[in-house]
Amino acid sequence: MTTVKVDVHHLTRVEGHGNIVVDVQNGELKQCELQIVETPRFFEAMLRGRPYDESSHITSRICGICAVGHATASLRATERALAITPSPQTVMLRKLNFHGEILDSHILHAYMLIAPDFLGVGSVIPLAKSAPDVVLRALRMKKVAGDLCKAICGRHTHPIAMTVGGFTAFPKLAELREIRERLIAMRPDYEATVELFSTLKFPAFERDTEYIALHKDDEYCFIDGVIASTDGGTWDISEYRQVTNEQIVPHSSAKHTKNQRQSYMVGALARFNVNYNQLHPKAKDAAAALGLQPITVNPYMNTAAQVVEIVHCIEDAIGIIDQLLVRGIKPEPPAPPTRMSGTGAGAADVPRGTLFHEYTIEDGKVVGANCIIPTGQNLANIEADMRGLVPTILDRSQQDITLALEMLVRAYDPCISCSTHLLDVKFE
């Protein structure tokens, strides 16, 4: 009988560290866990007592990859708590900004974290030697995405112009025109991206689960909307706790979540499955080329769904800029609070899935705060996938089983904890 023990410490190529522990004894799966370090437990402590307009600036520092995402969810929570209605221009600029961050993160994940697995090189560094054109393309696309964010919010890792009720600085129309030209020039690069990822052979593993994403009827939703499930049902964002149902599990310091089944998935594949109809036509073409259709239940295809979203966000960003160029951008003061106390939840579908922030504010100061990150919501589903996958691959070598599990976890693009940026230096 098969006995396999997989113990991967510090799964590389995810944003943070995670340990995979799988124990198969005599063909029977005894243990199958993704052990992770921490979701932001410090969250409330960092915000409590602070003026309401500092929350987005503080929380944007939680993650260098989802800084705009945290800022957006934070602003929406504060604006709901204080009954602030942002202007149509603010809503458009936020959408455009958000597209920049989705592009930036997906390009990083697909090209620099996933492609090396499929192209048989250990990481993006050897890939830069063996296929410099591929890495150059990724960097070229990433630069446009970063510059898009920079034009609107400052820089995407530090979005200082985003504030409660609106923006403190505005892009010039000339800047938007320039970004628009560069987005149009990106089309050959996204076509090459679709082509590259359509040639990669994603592992054929399927497991049906519940997919959760924000949803609007009239657009492919990243900000606001309602919470929607492929199992049916929608919830107002204020009801997010009814969907997430956080619970403590023994082996992880992060809580697990479940809605209508034992687990659910958030992220690009979940958005694709929930919101396929709202995708840009060119993104639907990309999906067809990648062999994706709703409802796809192969978690490895999350990367393919990210490529679809790359196409969508480029095309939709061009469309939003076209609208802004017609209506013009006027420097406007942020919309003011209409009350100084209240509770509000905000949600944004960030690169890794649905992110919730909720604040209680009294007399302009934060007195309570909650945050549920996408990776926390995916943990139970990743483990369920691992339990489904392991018995089907027991005939493989230990090394191959380990790689299959690592690739599965990486497909979810997990952000396992929040980062420092400490260098470790040895003087020689």
Partner 1 sequence: MTNTLILALGNPLRGDDGVGAAVLQALQDKPLPDVTLIDGGTAGLETVLLLEGRDCAIIIDAAEMGEAPGTWRRFSPDQVRLEARDMHLRGTMHYAGLSEALALGEAMNMLPPQIFIFGIQPEEIGWEIGLSEAVTSAVPAVCAAIEETLRLQLEM
User: For binding to partner 1 (CB under 8 A), which residues are involved?
Assistant: 9-10, 12-17, 37-38, 40-42, 45-46, 58, 61-65, 67, 104, 108, 112-113, 124-126, 128-129, 132, 135-136, 139, 142-143, 146, 155, 157-158, 416-428
Q: Which CB atom, from 118 or from 235, has the smaller least distance to partner 1?
A: 118
* DSSP for residue 110: I
The Cα 283–Cα 279 span in angstroms is: 6
Q: Which CB atom, from 63 or from 408, has the smaller least distance to partner 1?
A: 63
Q: Which CB atom, from 111 or from 222, has the smaller least distance to partner 1?
A: 111
Cα 252 to Cα 38, 41, 204, 215, 247: the distances in Å are 8, 13, 28, 30, 11
Bridge pairing between strands 166-167 and 162-163: antiparallel
**Least distance in angstroms from the C-beta of 138 to partner 1:** 9
Q: Which CB atom, from 17 or from 261, has the smaller least distance to partner 1?
A: 17
Q: Two tokens at 56?
A: 């987005």
Residue pair 266/209 in contact by the 8 Å Cβ criterion: no
Residue pair 104/66 in contact by the 8 Å Cβ criterion: no
**Least distance in angstroms from the C-beta of 212 to partner 1:** 26
- What is the C-alpha end-to-end distance of the chain, expressed in Å? 50
**Least distance in angstroms from the C-beta of 260 to partner 1:** 32
The dihedral built from the CA positions of residue 108, 113, 114 and 117, taken in this order, carries a sign that is positive
- At residue 275, the 3 state secondary structure works out as helix
β-strand partners of 265 = 211
**Least distance in angstroms from the C-beta of 209 to partner 1:** 26
**Least distance in angstroms from the C-beta of 17 to partner 1:** 4
**Least distance in angstroms from the C-beta of 51 to partner 1:** 14
Q: At a CB cut-off of 8 Å and minimum separation 6, what does 98 contact? A: 68, 69, 72, 222, 223, 348
Q: Which CB atom, from 104 or from 309, has the smaller least distance to partner 1?
A: 104
Q: Which CB atom, from 58 or from 192, has the smaller least distance to partner 1?
A: 58
Q: Which CB atom, from 128 or from 403, has the smaller least distance to partner 1?
A: 128
**Least distance in angstroms from the C-beta of 104 to partner 1:** 7
CA 208, 268, 292 angle in degrees (round to 5)? 65
Q: Which CB atom, from 18 or from 337, has the smaller least distance to partner 1?
A: 18
The Cα 420–Cα 19 span in angstroms is: 19
**Least distance in angstroms from the C-beta of 268 to partner 1:** 19
Q: At a CB cut-off of 8 Å and minimum separation 6, what does 103 contact? A: 141, 142, 144, 145, 148, 310, 313, 314, 317
